[in-house]
A and B are shown apart, each in its own frame.
Chain A
Amino acid sequence: MLSNIGNALLFSNILLGISIIYFSFENLRNKEQRVSKKIYRLSLLQSTLIIICFFNLIAAFITSDFSIISVYQNSHSLKPFFYKVSGTWGNHEGSLLLWVIILTIFSFLFLIYNKSHPKNYRVYTLIVQNILILGFLFFILFNSNPFGVILPTPSEGLGLNPILQDPALAIHPPLLYVGFVGSSIYFSAAIASLITDYSDKLFAQSIKNWVLISWSFQTLGILTGSIWAYYELGWGGFWFWDPVENASLLPWFAMTALVHSLIALEKRKFLYFWVIILCLLTFILSVTGTFLVRSGILNSVHTFANDPSRGAYILIFLSLMIFASVLLFFKKFKTSNYNLNANSKETFILINNWFMIFYLITVLLGTIYPIFTEVLTDNKVSVGPPYYNTVIIPVVIFFLFFMAVGPQTKWIKNKFSNLNLLIKILFGAILINFVIIYLSKSYSLISNFIIISSIFLILSSLNDLYKTIKQRKIDLSRIISHSGFGFLILFIGLNYNFSLEKDLNLKVGEARKFENYLLEFKNLQLKDFKNYKAVVGEFKIKNLKENLELTLNPEIRIYESPNTITYEASIRTGILKDYYLTMSNIDRSEYYNIKFQKKPFMLWIWISVIFISLGGFLRLFKNEKNY
């Protein structure tokens, strides 16, 4: 029954989508002043029905209705409630439904929040957005339908992969989708703006909050993905430049460039066509990322199950999107006289975009390069962390300096009267770096530069804060985001240089001393849990320098449904550092492979990213208040 409801709702939404497009064209033709009430009602109905459809699927998961295929493939009656719910979107078909919900809700909300903007512009946005919605609805209905039926009804489900049963991973897709799926709305708005020649500052105002929303949520989405990887995947890292991770980062670069460019566009009609390119690019990158991740052409630890038919559909959809946007853009592009104010904030906004495009091209190139070499030269090449780190990190040094200096310049000619102050701050940063080296240990040349430049950004942001408070002009959003970024790079740099990793083989009862730690393998226990058995190791770590002792209990878990083995890291999170221990058995041996890691400032890395997104939310809140 739930399956029938689900399918009926999907089908209704297709009809609604088609009728919205039809009535929208009608509305455009008959030159009415306003958007017809019919369109509002249909749009509201569309959102309501898709939400009901989604809850319908959730209900199927909660009640463990195994006659429905996605429930059967991804759930189990013994799953904890919270993960039954999150299992709804933790699979390919269910997540597509999440795609459609965000596309639909954003479509409706954009319509009603833009009443002060021209009717034609809003209606064309609605049309394009609904074409996107229809595209995904057809994909769901004809290829990846979560409501497919299995007969006879299985008595039990196949279960949800245990590494997906994690709170961070549960909220990761919704956050991320508000991000890059949400970018669809300004993709549609950009096309509408091109068609209707709506190109002045008002266009920027129309989309700016939407860009802020998607950017802030995308940041949080990426964060939760990293947190999950750190706590669940057992390698102690939080970023691997894995294709799936890169797929979420690419739209983020475009969004960041867009957030900054909109600031300029709002003041002057300066960067209009560049803003359009960014709007189109963001969502194109989002769909490209989805294609790369779900088609199976890339090898990744995060991939969904592979199915070339999905890949083919998404690629066709993507190609149509790209050709339509590129051709329309070429048709409408007009060169205008760009009067760039040199030595002004506009220059620095361009600089931000310049760096963002560099990061974007690098990550995009690294991600798709193996695909090209394999097709063109039949030779498989890997592009991994060493590539990205080598290419990007040196550039970040300069980027941090520009981030510090840029916001302080004025919109029109800047006098650089604060050059003295900047030099003092630079001295301060170098001094602090020296103190760090003196108190702990020295590190590579590049690390020195990274640490100095990130501290420089942080100090200048603090100086900005001081000035802002003195002038009583409270605009914290930029300061919080920029300093958050500075802190992020600082803590990543410190974490990288002061981490300790030790990979060794031990058997029960053995101990090993390395650096100033003593690691003892105390004992091994077998424990039985609701849906898994665990081999739990007890390890004592003694920090001989600080005379501290703690116990870590890594596990090897054997699950039944589905039949998998996972390695659970034992993590002791602290204010200054995390201790991280994993244990895995070596076949046909009584030795266990132990990986011990000391990771400083992990907590602060997460907090820094929260700060970055917080700035976005604060700006959004301020915009809404002023509105």
Chain B
Amino acid sequence: MKKIIKLFVLILVIFIIGIFFISLNNSTRYDTKGLVGQKIKKISLDYFSENKKFTEVDLKKNNYTLINFWASWCGPCRDEHIFLLKLSKEKNLKLLGVNFKDKKNNALKFLNDLGNPYDNLTKDELGKQSVNFGIYGIPESILIDKELVILKKFTGPISEKDFRNIKSIIKK
């Protein structure tokens, strides 16, 4: 009886300390990767310049869509813009831009200065629609397919690696 308790305590201690050691090497940045595999059901975004709504029906027209959340006041958004411009040349991929909590003039100036990669441009002035996409900071991007299944989620600016990753996915 006593031996069992002693063994149990020792194993428990080793287990706990082991977990602590492993967790020391894990990164602490949070990622909403649970979204991958989910299907987008209903969306309703205001077009940037027109008085229309962009819905999931419009999304289904594309083979692949990259939904990119950006704003003029966001520094890292400038870093990823060059990759967005490159991606806009891809035939199989359409870019949907969502201008997040921004002022119209500033957003237009941003696009004038850096170029407009978006096939469709919408806005989310209060940020409420972005919650439907699981967005919690910008820039963030979501890659979906024709069935509106989320293939990949990118938190932070799209890097060179992400760019090549997207290209390889949309080739299929």
A580-600 residues with Cβ-Cβ distance < 8 A to B are 587-588
B24, A306: Cβ atoms under 8 Å? no
A380, B30: Cβ atoms under 8 Å? yes
The answer, yes or no, to whether B112 is at the interface (CB within 8 Å) is: no
B13, A322: Cβ atoms under 8 Å? yes
Q: State in angstroms the CA–CA spacing of A319 and B23 once bound together.
A: 15
Identify which of B6, B13, B24, B101 contacts A297 (C-beta below 8 A): B24
The answer, yes or no, to whether B114 is at the interface (CB within 8 Å) is: no
Number of interface residues of A (CB under 8 A): 25
The answer, yes or no, to whether B103 is at the interface (CB within 8 Å) is: yes
The answer, yes or no, to whether A558 is at the interface (CB within 8 Å) is: no
The answer, yes or no, to whether B17 is at the interface (CB within 8 Å) is: yes
Q: State in angstroms the CA–CA spacing of A318 and B19 once bound together.
A: 14
B9, A375: Cβ atoms under 8 Å? no
Annotate A295-318 by CB proximity to B: 1 below 8 A, 0 otherwise.
Answer: 111010000001010011001001
B20, A299: Cβ atoms under 8 Å? no
A361-410 residues with Cβ-Cβ distance < 8 A to B are 368, 371-372, 374-376, 380
- In the bound complex, residues from chain A placing their C-beta under 8 Å from that of B101 are 587-588
B103, A297: Cβ atoms under 8 Å? no
A299, B28: Cβ atoms under 8 Å? yes
Annotate B1-42 by CB proximity to A: 1 below 8 A, 0 otherwise.
Answer: 000001001100100110111111110101000000000000
Could you tell me the distance in whole angstroms from the C-beta of B108 to the nearest C-beta in chain A?
15
A371, B19: Cβ atoms under 8 Å? yes
Q: State in angstroms the CA–CA spacing of A308 and B23 once bound together.
A: 10
Using A326-B9, A587-B101, A588-B103 as known contacts, say yes or no to A297 and B28 having CB atoms under 8 A apart: yes
A315, B10: Cβ atoms under 8 Å? no
Could you tell me the distance in whole angstroms from the C-beta of A328 to the nearest C-beta in chain B?
12
Interface centre among B17, B24, B26 (most CB of A within 10 A): B24
B9, A297: Cβ atoms under 8 Å? no
A375, B13: Cβ atoms under 8 Å? no
Q: State in angstroms the CA–CA spacing of A358 and B73 once bound together.
A: 50
Using A319-B17, A322-B13, A322-B17 as known contacts, say yes or no to A374 and B23 having CB atoms under 8 A apart: yes
- In the bound complex, residues from chain B placing their C-beta under 8 Å from that of A588 are 101-103
Identify which of B9, B13, B20, B73 contacts A291 (C-beta below 8 A): B20
The answer, yes or no, to whether A514 is at the interface (CB within 8 Å) is: no
B10, A326: Cβ atoms under 8 Å? yes
- In the bound complex, residues from chain A placing their C-beta under 8 Å from that of B13 are 322-323, 326
| Closest chain B residue to A312, Cβ basis | B24
- In the bound complex, residues from chain B placing their C-beta under 8 Å from that of A311 are 24
A375, B23: Cβ atoms under 8 Å? yes
Interface centre among B16, B20, B102 (most CB of A within 10 A): B20
Residue contacts A-B, CB under 8 angstroms, 10 given: A295-B20, A312-B24, A315-B17, A315-B24, A318-B17, A322-B17, A326-B9, A372-B19, A374-B23, A588-B101
- Rank and list the top 9 A-B pairs by shortest CB-CB distance, nearest first: A297-B23, A311-B24, A371-B23, A375-B22, A319-B17, A375-B19, A308-B24, A375-B23, A330-B6
List residues of chain B with CB under 8 Å of any chain A CB.
6, 9-10, 13, 16-17, 19-26, 28, 30, 73, 101-103
